[in-house]
Chains A and B, each alone.
Chain A
Amino acid sequence: MRLFFGKVGETTATFFAGVSRLYALFAEVTGGIVASFYEKKVVRTPHVFRQIVLMGVDSLGIICLVGAAVGMVLALQAGYQLKEFGATLYTGSLVAVSITRELGPLVAAIVITGRVGARVAAELGTMKVQEEVDALATMGLNPVRYLVIPRCLALVIILPCLTVLADVMGMIGGFLIGTLGMGINTYLYVSVSFDALVFKDIYTGLVKSVIFAMLIALVSCHQGLSVTGGADGVGKSTTQAVVISIILVIVMDCVATAVFYYALPS
């Protein structure tokens, strides 16, 4: 019994310590971004662009594929259920709303966690193990400003863009299934989709994706920079970066949805 409560206490302590370290990193990153407005050489623009290419441009294909697949599955499932009520026509609106509000941002975030989060954690972790991070510090280059800020900025810029892409591809996927598979009239499908969509659906999705981007970037960079030991430590941190990011993204999604649709007046 004592062992059990000890374990619970220990886990809780680790959790809060982790949250406070993430918050400290967040404060340092935002401090650095603010400082970049009045100090030279805080944020290196070429580094941000390089990361945008590595994180974003190279992820276009996989985001398109997964987005379209999710849209298709959604249309198939919705069509099957809606047929019971003779409301197959509304497949389009259901797909459009659920993709833009929820699935587009979430799917993009999860794919990016696996692809980019793991990459960042492994890269920074290896740099830490090979003393490269220490080398930066001894050269008077702050590792957070030099390594973390470009990655955070790049992800915050790129994830909303990828989310829009996932939204569009999801709707196209749904459209294909709806029109070709279920025989809904093309014009009707498009018009019910747009009738159901309101601007709030899209911008709440995008705001969420900005939050997700910050979470993924911070967690992955933090895990990378806190690697100890050798290859084993890098492996552990990479796994943790992905697992923690996905958990935080889903929890945050819950909170954000509750805030946008229940706490804030529509």
Chain B
Amino acid sequence: MENIIEIRNLVKKFGDRAVLDGISFEIPAGKTTVIMGGSGCGKSTLLRHLVALHVPTEGEIWIDGENIVGMGEKEMNQVRRKFGMLFQSAALFNSMTVGENVALPLREHTDLPNEIIQIIVKVKLELVGLTGFENFMPHEISGGMKKRVALARAIALDPKIVFYDEPGAGLDPITASMIDRLMIDLSRKLKITSVCVTHEMKSAFRIADKIIILHKGKVLQIGTSEEIQNSTNPYVRQFISGEPEGAIPLKQTSDAYLKGLLET
């Protein structure tokens, strides 16, 4: 299986504190990979490194055969055209209509005439099940719809990879599973590699071909859905069961908290 993303020994320090502490893994092409972990384990930070919003302290990030660490802005913008990103808050531009939001990457990165752009916008909106919503403003549609528009925008340039930051956050279970299904559909129909950051187990097991679990800035376990579900690691077990008691303490004394901070 070919890997489209490879991360080698990624370290990110904010001050003295290492948020990511020597992370290495591969993401296979055309599959859905889920990065999981509790709040504050560094999974969002990791995702922001993958899309070059953060610069790592150490390590390499290879995307489609190119190391993006230390890359100039022009080359990076070329790499950025290979991926789209769905933000947690959807991040639609509020001053533009739904159609204009989806059209933006096409207008900025291609020289296509307006008629063609309009057709592509229609096709992309249809893919996410929002036919005829071009002229709505972002504040006129619901949260789930916003996520779907953001997804249409992320795939506007037919990227090889789509990154999802907590796609189900703030949505009801039905809408969240609808987004999951869209994700699977896109992977199958368009052969898109999906990389999804989430802490929702149900959704993760539903969509993932490969699961990476992070804990305190390190990779705790990598495996398929079944392997993770049958894991014997106490942290992973507690994470799956969602029990408050276990290897990961919920309540901490301030001493233990400080010690934990110093360790990471």
Contacts and interface: CB of A to CB of B under 8 A. Distances in A.
Say if A and B assemble together: yes
A41 interface: yes
A120 to B, nearest CB: 13
Interface string A120-136: 00000001001110110
B32 to A, nearest CB: 19
Interface in A142-163: 142
Nearest to A123: B95
B108 A141 contact: yes
A138 B109 CA distance: 13
B105 A135 contact: no
Interface stretch (B22-30, B83-91, B170-178): B83-91
Contacts of B87: 131, 134-135
Contacts of B83: 138
A127 B93 CA distance: 8
A142 B83 CA distance: 16
A139 B93 contact: no
A210 B92 CA distance: 34
Contact of A134 (B78, B84, B91): B91
B222 interface: no
Nearest to B88: A131
A65 interface: no
Nearest to A126: B94
Interface string A149-179: 0000000000000000000000000000000
Nearest to A40: B111
A137 interface: yes
B81 A138 contact: no
B53 A139 contact: no
A132 B91 contact: yes
A127 B95 CA distance: 10
B108 A137 contact: no
Interface string B179-214: 000000000000000000000000000000000000
B105 A131 contact: no
Given A137-B53, A139-B108, A130 B80 contact: no
B168 to A, nearest CB: 17
A140 interface: yes
Contacts of A137: 52-53
Contacts of A131: 87-89, 91
A41 to B, nearest CB: 6
A141 B84 CA distance: 13
B170 to A, nearest CB: 13
A135 B89 CA distance: 10
B104 interface: yes
Nearest to A139: B105
A135 B108 contact: no
Given A41-B108, A130-B91, A135 B80 contact: no
A132 B109 CA distance: 18
A134 B77 CA distance: 13
Q: Across the A-B interface, give the 7 residue pairs with the lowest CB-CB distance, nearest first.
A: A140-B77, A135-B91, A140-B80, A131-B91, A131-B87, A138-B85, A138-B51
15 contacts: A41-B108, A127-B93, A131-B87, A134-B87, A134-B91, A135-B85, A135-B91, A135-B93, A138-B53, A138-B80, A139-B104, A139-B108, A140-B76, A140-B81, A141-B108
